[in-house]
């Protein structure tokens, strides 16, 4: 099948500051949460690789932007590293050397015809604020973040017209404080929900601040909702999926799009003593400042069933009291990453947003395929023949465009990632990029087969997908 891609449909790629830039020029005391985790638990990062060197983007960003231009990329999203943006987090003294680096990235992208999209926090909360105020538990940290955002808008808002407050705002506290699976391994469900709330409130505050001073751009947030499917059509399984959606998707969708929390979430939080106790003034700010647009990160489906066992009163409350994860037998897998491949999530998420919320603009800000040992797929010219990535993108983009055809307000697709980059714990084990990064001292770059194919999408605006209607 040949599918036309709308002329104004964004075809871009993404990364983050901490996953690419490395520590060159980083000053004492500028550690982020990620930096501190790496220093405290380096052993959990695959073969010890982490943010210290990453892809050496600090030194190589002009080369990378030249490659973006060669691929004809239309948009590129990255982040400002909050922890490196200041030398004093209380007085908000900007690190002018790092700020100039951000200027350089933005200017070079614009010169190359690649529109910059900037996220203000991609897991880069300063360690100082974690150590001193317990991070997003504190309203003082929230105030400092709002002021940081305003400084960023003043410096870069003349050139950057698409902003995001957070990337996947639920992730850090879920991994660290709900599941306690990552450093610092503190189990505290009430803190988990409080961080969720403070990040939603911070987003509303920053939206309010942005629109006071900027009149020709827009600001949103990048969420990572999981399209959740019940194991069966039973009332119990359907209810389990509904509760997962409430705790992990609607907890941000509702305040950011509708301007209010659902009464159902409020009551279940009160029942389990994890309510976040908002003030009337804070709820008014959330109500009056919904996001302008959304980024949606999508990789795999979430499948659940009704829980088969009673929740122990000796175990801290977890939303799993209401659901149990379910692995679909025979599911298609990315065996490198351990994730199910189900491209239909793109269409289903499109319809979920269309059917449940106002027609807010949104785009896929992350989707991609991680594959280990990609060097095994090099041809005689040293080019990685990543046909599996081309197939993965094609199938997901096909279902996304189906959604657009059926009335979705989706504006585009951004691949994770532009280059191979460091991921939490995974490090460089699984590669995601259109551009290969060698783990030599120079972090040498080369284009993969998928890079040339991706360029054809941008240029020709045509997607060719295999017709699978015939039974085998």
Active-site residues: which are they?
168, 366
- In the chain, what is the greatest distance between 2 CA atoms, to the nearest angstrom? 67
SS3 labels along the chain: CEEECCCCCEEEEECCCCCCCCCCCCCCCCCEHHHHHHHHCHHHCHHHCCCCCCCCHHHHHHHHHHHHHHHCCCEEEEECCHHHHEEECCCCEECHHHHHHHHHHHHHHHHCCCEEEEECCCCCCEHHHHHHHCHHHCHHHHHHHHHHHHHHHHHHCCCCCEEEEEECCCHHHHHHHHCCCCCCCCCCHHHHHHHHHHHHHHHHHHHHHHHHHCCCCEEEEEECCCCEEECCCCHHHHHHHHHHHHHHHHHHHHHHHHCCCCHHHHHHHHHCCCCCCCCHHHHHHHHHCCCCEEEEECCCCEEEECCCCCCCCCCCCCHHHHCEECCCCCCCEECCCCEECCCCHHHHHHHHHHHHCCCCCEEEEECCCCEECHHHHECCCCCECCHHHHHHHHHHHHHHHHHHHCCCCEEEEEEECCECCCECCCECCEECCCEEECCCCCCCEEECHHHHHHHHHHHHCEEECCCCCCCC
Spatial separation of the C-alpha atoms in residues 140 and 213, rounded to whole Å: 22
Short-list 156, 61, 75, CA closest to 105:
61
Burial of 312 from C-beta contacts in 10 A (0-12 / 13-18 / 19+):
exposed
Q: Please check whether residue 152 is in contact with residue 158, taking contact to mean a CB–CB distance below 8 angstroms.
A: no
At residue 69, φ and ψ (nearest 5 deg) are -65, -40
- Number of residues that make up the chain: 472
How would you label 35-71 residue by residue, b for 16+ Cβ within 10 Å and e otherwise? bbbbeeeeebbeeebbbbebbbbbebbeebbebbeeb
CB 117 within 8 A of CB 77: yes
């Amino acid at each position: 099948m040949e599918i036309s891609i709308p002329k104004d449909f964004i075809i871009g790629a993404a990364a983050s500051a901490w996953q690419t830039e490395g520590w060159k020029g980083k000053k004492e005391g500028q550690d982020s949460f990620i930096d501190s985790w790496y220093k405290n638990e380096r052993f959990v990062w695959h073969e010890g690789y982490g943010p210290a060197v990453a892809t050496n983007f600090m030194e190589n960003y002009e080369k990378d932007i030249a490659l973006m231009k060669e691929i004809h990329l239309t948009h590129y999203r990255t982040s400002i590293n909050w922890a490196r943006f200041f030398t004093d987090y209380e007085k908000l003294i900007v690190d002018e050397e790092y700020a100039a680096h951000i200027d350089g990235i933005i200017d070079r992208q614009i010169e190359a015809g690649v529109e910059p999209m900037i996220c203000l926090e991609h897991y880069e909360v300063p360690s100082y604020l974690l150590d001193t105020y317990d991070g997003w538990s504190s309203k003082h940290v929230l105030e400092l973040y709002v002021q940081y955002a305003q400084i960023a808008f003043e410096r870069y808002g003349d050139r950057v017209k698409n902003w995001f407050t957070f990337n996947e705002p639920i992730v850090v506290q879920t991994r660290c404080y709900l599941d306690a699976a990552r450093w610092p391994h503190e189990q505290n469900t009430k803190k988990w929900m409080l961080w969720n709330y403070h990040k939603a409130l911070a987003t509303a505050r920053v939206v309010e601040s942005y629109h006071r001073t900027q009149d020709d751009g827009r600001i949103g947030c990048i969420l990572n909702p999981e399209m959740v499917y019940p194991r069966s059509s039973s009332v119990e399984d359907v209810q389990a999926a509904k509760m997962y959606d409430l705790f992990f998707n609607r907890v941000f969708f509702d305040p950011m799009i509708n301007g209010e929390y659902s009464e159902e979430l409020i009551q279940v939080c009160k029942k389990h003593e994890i309510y976040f106790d908002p003030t009337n003034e804070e709820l008014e700010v959330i109500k009056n400042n919904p996001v302008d647009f959304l980024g949606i990160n999508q990789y795999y489906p979430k499948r659940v069933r009704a829980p088969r066992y009673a929740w122990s009163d000796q175990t801290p409350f977890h939303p799993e009291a209401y659901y149990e994860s379910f692995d679909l037998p025979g599911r298609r897998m990315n065996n490198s990453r351990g994730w199910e491949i189900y491209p239909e999530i793109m269409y289903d998420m499109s319809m979920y947003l269309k059917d449940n919320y106002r027609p807010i603009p949104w785009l896929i800000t992350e989707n991609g395929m991680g594959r280990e040992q990609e060097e095994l797929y090099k041809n005689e010219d040293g080019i990685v023949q990543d046909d599996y990535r081309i197939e993965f993108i094609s199938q997901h983009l096909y279902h996304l465009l189906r959604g657009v055809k059926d009335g979705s307000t989706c504006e585009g697709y951004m691949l994770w990632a532009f280059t191979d980059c460091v991921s939490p714990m995974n490090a460089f084990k699984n590669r995601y990029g259109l551009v290969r990064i060698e783990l030599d001292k120079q972090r040498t770059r080369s284009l993969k087969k998928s890079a040339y194919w991706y360029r054809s999408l941008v240029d020709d605006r045509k997607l060719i997908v295999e017709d699978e209607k015939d039974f085998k």
